[in-house]
Amino acid sequence: MLPASFALLQEAAGVAHPLAGTAARWMWALPLLPLLGFVINGALSIVSAYHAGPADPGAHPHDAHPSVEERHEAHTGHDVTGGGAHGDDHHVVVRHRFAGLATIIGPGVMVLAFGLAVAIFAAMRGAGDAALHTPFVQRYFEWMPVGDLRIDAAFQLDQLSMVMILVITGVGMLIHLFSVGYMQDDPSYPRYFAYLNLFVAFMLVLVMGASYPVMFVGWEGVGLCSYLLIGFWYLDKANADAGKKAFIMNRIGDFGFLVAMFMLYANIGTLEFEGVRAQATALGPSVVTWICLFFFLGCTGKSAQIPLYTWLPDAMAGPTPVSALIHAATMVTAGVYLIARSNFLFSLSPVASLTVVVIGALTAIFAASIGLKQWDIKKVLAYSTVSQLGYMFIGVGSGAYVSGVFHLVTHAFFKALLFLGSGSVIFAMHRAYHATHSAEDAQDMRNMGGLRRYMPWTFWLMLAATLAIAGFPPFAGFFSKDAILGTVFLRARESTLADAHWLGIPGNIILYACYVLGLAAAFMTAVYMTRMLIYTFLGPNRSGERERDFLGEAPWIMTGPLLVLGVLSVAGGWLNLPESIPIGRVGLLEHWLDPVVGESTLRITHGAAVEASSTIEYSLIGAAVLIALAGIVVAWVMLRPERLVPKREARQEEGFERVLANKYYVDEIYDDAVVQPTVGVSRNLLWEGIDQGLIDNVMVKYIGTGVPRLFGWLGSQLQSGQVGTYAWVLVVGVLFVLGAFTIR
């Protein structure tokens, strides 16, 4: 039996793809460039660790005076657990000895990769839409030929991966540039860029893989880099713990990914995207549903959805640019990408799709409500990210794959901007507190306030991003969020999802409910984002008298990328204008992605194109805008920055506020329900019971010493020195040997 992939290979060899011979033939260089950067930066980091001298005080983990590194880093990217004692008073800023080289290589490879990505994009545009109905697959070598299973190391270029490549290399390049400023004084500067480069390499493998296993390599690789970067300042135990938490929760999700792959192989014998797409309809409905649900379990881990979302807020322990790149713009959207990539599977299973929608909607509102009462500026953004990822899942779950990817792209723009902006703020706050040797929390919004006067650029850019995420027209988030909510509403009226039942509830009711939840989450989004903006930039300054003199705008290497992201956040909506708002060419992204997802979208809508009367469409848009405006106004009216006091004087929250500030106690519940029982069973049963009791005592002490002694005694009794005894033993042995042959 020939695997379907083999046929594909023949096809690829026989008929030249329109992209063959264009810049797309260099696509293997896309992940290789950051990988090269990783190798060089990693080598620099290792070399400096071996020659640890005064030039790099922190490159040596076992330095006799780790306090310099630890304290400094604890300031720069503050740990998530809140106030730590920063008694640092003799810190001398010393740049890494290889900082200059790492500065050139780290962002340099990203610039090259982005340039190549643009060139490939141009080639795809040049080839014409009509010619690109099949993806451009490059096979490099046979990776796992095992029996019928044949997995090639192959990359695939199509419209969807192109979008992702542009986002990853583009936003990634900007964040690399930002990092040059943000991390300039870090003792482990080359190590940082090594990890960041490696992350981009793996992320590109993830989106370019031509089969699920290759994608899984990237999937695991970005998880590794995420772990490394969350725990980048590993001398602080909280950071290392946050890294472990992210890693372990992601493994739970990866289990789902693996099971889904196994089921795919068991049922159709191929794991290549094109092969699966061709044979997906041959799968039974329940099999498809299970495969999709297991894939979605992987998504909930990687993309921080209920129930596996708790790692993402803790992941803010990493440097802020990392939060921007990995935990907002790219890696956490891998789950959305996976579902968009597997649209041919999910569109076959209304139940699984409804699950995605419901989980997405619940996560959106749940995380948004937590975001209302967070004080740490990065925590607000983290929960906002979880919430926005929920939106993307509503989109891809309801079969609006284009809208989901559209929101992914715009979210990458404005959330990267928000994170980098908050990075600028933290950078300034930290610098100020550092100058005065204050031990205050540089990330707590209660310690900020009025920063608009000190960093106007950052303020205006953050304002743009806030309006974008709140869904205020004509910023990017308005179009993408509206597209998602509008589609859910339309799907509730007419689609395979609406006809299906989910846990006995009719699909259309669920979709309407999710629409309402989405609107509510949008309202909360507007509220908490406005709150963040007000507390950070408006009102009186609460940083402290002495610190005020040190507040100021970050260097241009940091503000520059912000500016670019600001433009994208404002104008990103033009990528996919709805037909109802024709202020430019409409539906660019929709048209672009049509070869990838068009078929599946039609399958969900019973073969009819998405259409709605303009009355409904305009009322939906109106509702969304009203909700956004209402959120902003409510926040504006209710919040009084004048009343706010610095963190050290703040009162405790009470009632429901407290529940929100403590994130619904989900971490505590998980701790009690999962972690503690596991630890208890491990300690009491596995360790003390089985390991110490059974193995150490019973087996080692009694059996382990008793049985050898018994045999020793028996053996010594046989050693009589009598030849006759030996003859007997020998003959009995011969009997056994002959007996073995006889029985055989």
Q: Residue numbers of the site for other proteins (CB under 8 A)?
A: 719-724, 726-728, 731-732, 734-735, 738-739, 741-742
b/e burial code for range 140-166 (CB count within 10 A of at least 16 → b) = eeeeeeeeeebbbbbbbbbbbbbbbbb
Minimum CB separation of residue 710 from other proteins in Å reads: 20
Minimum CB separation of residue 213 from other proteins in Å reads: 51
Distances (CA, A) of 76 to 1, 59, 185: 59, 16, 9
Which CB sits closer to other proteins, 282 or 737?
737
Which CB sits closer to other proteins, 640 or 744?
744
CB 298 within 8 A of CB 253: yes
Which CB sits closer to other proteins, 694 or 738?
738
Which CB sits closer to other proteins, 540 or 721?
721
* CA–CA distance, 438 with 158 (Å, rounded to integer): 52
Q: For the purposes of burial, counting CB atoms within 10 Å of the CB of 514, is it exposed (0-12), middle (13-18) or buried (19 or more)?
A: buried
Distances (CA, A) of 439 to 185, 435, 647: 19, 11, 12
CB 404 within 8 A of CB 395: yes
* CA–CA distance, 581 with 480 (Å, rounded to integer): 13
Which residue matches tokens 């033939």? 25
Minimum CB separation of residue 743 from other proteins in Å reads: 9
CB 219 within 8 A of CB 334: yes
Which CB sits closer to other proteins, 613 or 719?
719
CB 606 within 8 A of CB 495: yes
Minimum CB separation of residue 678 from other proteins in Å reads: 55
In sequence order, the 6+-apart residues with CB closer than 8 A to the CB of 163 are 405, 409, 589, 592, 593
Other CB atoms within 10 A of residue 184 CB: 17
Which CB sits closer to other proteins, 614 or 742?
742
Using DSSP, state whether 541 is helix, strand or coil. Answer: coil
Minimum CB separation of residue 732 from other proteins in Å reads: 7
CB 462 within 8 A of CB 475: no
Distances (CA, A) of 610 to 201, 322, 583: 37, 38, 20
Using DSSP, state whether 619 is helix, strand or coil. Answer: helix
Q: What are phi and psi of 67, to 5 degrees?
A: -60, -35
Which CB sits closer to other proteins, 656 or 728?
728
Q: Pick from 310, 75, 292: which is nearest to 187 by CA?
A: 75
Which CB sits closer to other proteins, 692 or 725?
725
Which CB sits closer to other proteins, 10 or 720?
720
Which CB sits closer to other proteins, 2 or 734?
734
Other CB atoms within 10 A of residue 579 CB: 13
Minimum CB separation of residue 714 from other proteins in Å reads: 16
Distances (CA, A) of 57 to 54, 204, 228, 372: 6, 34, 20, 40
Which CB sits closer to other proteins, 681 or 727?
727
Q: Which two tokens stand for residue 221?
A: 């690789």
Counting every residue, how long is the chain? 744
CB 470 within 8 A of CB 632: yes
